Structure 1
Amino acid sequence: MQCTNEYEIQYENQGYQQVIGIDEAGRGPLAGPLVVAGVCFPMGFSHPEIYDSKKLSEKKREALYDYIKEEALYFSIEIIDEATIDRLNIYEATKQTMMKIAAECEIADVVLSDAMKFQVEGKIVEPIIKGDQKSVNIAAASILAKVTRDRIMKEYSKMYPEYGFDKHKGYPTKQHMAALNTYGVLPIHRRSYAPVARALQMHFDF
């Protein structure tokens, strides 16, 4: 498994200066934040192990995390809390944060996103389906986002051990649904998500 840098090379050959790749972790979970990251490597950069974070082992992601931050010309990690997700909805929260990262990266004139369409003034934006398997910058962003989010969920697991956040990271697994129905809704749950809304009707709100 290896991401190519064909998209990056394509834009370099057209005379563009830098490419930033943007991806997220945590659109599907019922609890915990959304994390969006952006990475801008030097043009021509490649690495045999940087790939879609979901396809890598936790050990490999952790090993690549610091390496990516060291090798990137620019990186950004944004954490969006549950209240913001509930207020905007998960799609808008993701889109607006990707736009923010893209706009703030002054060195990049091209933005590659993992399948998210948006516009940023003065920049080319190309959404790529399964971009975290096709662009080294997007793949690196997916690793930063997932490692950051997983670390947050492990800390929540210490606060709320009966929910098992260290195992399912807030996704609606059987274990999580059982805990939600047994113990009720936590402050870190997304109240706009249907299973959480149903649980709120069953239990008092912590």
Structure 2
Amino acid sequence: MSVGKLRMNTYELKHWKLKQDVIGIDEAGRGPMAGPLVVCGVILPHHYQHPLINDSKQLSLKQRQACFNDILCDAKRIMIDVVSVDVIDTLNIYQATKQSMEAIINHNHVAALVDAMVCEGDVEIQSIVKGDQQSISIAAASIVAKMIRDNIMIAYDQIYPHYGFKNHKGYPTQKHKQAMAEHGLSPIHRRSFTFKSK
């Protein structure tokens, strides 16, 4: 357990040893055909450790919920940006993600660790491939972003019940594609994405 914790803290320790805050930034929702993009930044207390915090995709729902609750209680700061479908369609998903991440970076004025996205700003920014598996701050942001987005899509399922958003969260599953072919596009489908029925 201690080896895992050390590995997840490695990027943060450089800043924490200097008594500097660092913000981890990640997103949820770049791949779906419907729904918003959620970008999150998390500043954790210095030398923070948690036995479960890791890439949100590797956690069960129960584990993710437990981590989410702990992060909400423990974090020094959490920033969330919900990027609408209209913005995604106007900018494209890459630029929408980049713009949102940079807005969070520039608002906080502390060093930033970003999951696999090259961002610009007036502070030290480190892009880490698979950062949600190597940085506890990025992993925390990953968990918060996913929980927020999943809950948004569950709410959308009540408004647009034909698509099954509560199950696939807007990702391109076969059932989702079949529902789109049968019912057409909902207002929260991304028109800038290429849709294939099969």
Normalising to structure 2: TM-score of the pair?
0.93
Match of 2:155 in 1: 155
Distance in 1 (alpha carbons) for counterparts of 2:48 and 2:62: 23
1:60: how far off? 1.5
Q: Secondary structure, in 3 states, of the residue corresponding to 2:113?
A: strand
Matches within 5 A, 1:110-189: 110-121=111-122, 123-189=123-189
1:66: how far off? 2.3
Q: Secondary structure, in 3 states, of the residue corresponding to 1:116?
A: coil
1:168–1:176 Cα contact (<8 Å) kept: yes
Q: Write out per-residue CA displacement over residues 8-55 of structure 1, whole angstroms, 9 at most, x where no aligned residue.
A: 112334x36111000000000000000000000122111111110011
Distance in 1 (alpha carbons) for counterparts of 2:178 and 2:19: 51
Q: Write out per-residue CA displacement over residues 84-125 of structure 1, whole angstroms, 9 at most, x where no aligned residue.
A: 00001000100010011111124x2x100001111111x100
1:10 and 2:11 equivalent? Answer: no
Distance in 2 (alpha carbons) for counterparts of 1:23 and 1:183: 33
When structure 1 is superposed on structure 2, of 140-149 and 55-64 the one drifting more is 55-64
Distance in 2 (alpha carbons) for counterparts of 1:99 and 1:164: 32
Choose from 78, 88, 94 the match for 1:85.
Answer: 88
Distance in 1 (alpha carbons) for counterparts of 2:105 and 2:72: 17
1:38 and 2:41 equivalent? Answer: yes
Distance in 2 (alpha carbons) for counterparts of 1:63 and 1:162: 30
The amino acid of 2:98's aligned partner reads K
Distance in 1 (alpha carbons) for counterparts of 2:156 and 2:31: 17
- How many residue pairs get aligned? The number is 193
Moved segments of 4+, more than 3 Å: none
Query: Identity of aligned pairs, percent?
Result: 49
Choose from 56, 71, 82 the match for 1:68.
Answer: 71
Q: Write out per-residue CA displacement over residues 120-176 of structure 1, whole angstroms, 9 at most, x where no aligned residue.
A: 11x100000000010000000000000000001001111122211111100010000
Distance in 2 (alpha carbons) for counterparts of 1:16 and 1:188: 43
Match of 1:58 in 2: 61
1:58: how far off? 1.3
Normalising to structure 1: TM-score of the pair?
0.90
List runs of 5+ in structure 2 lacking aligned partners.
none
Distance in 2 (alpha carbons) for counterparts of 1:10 and 1:114: 17
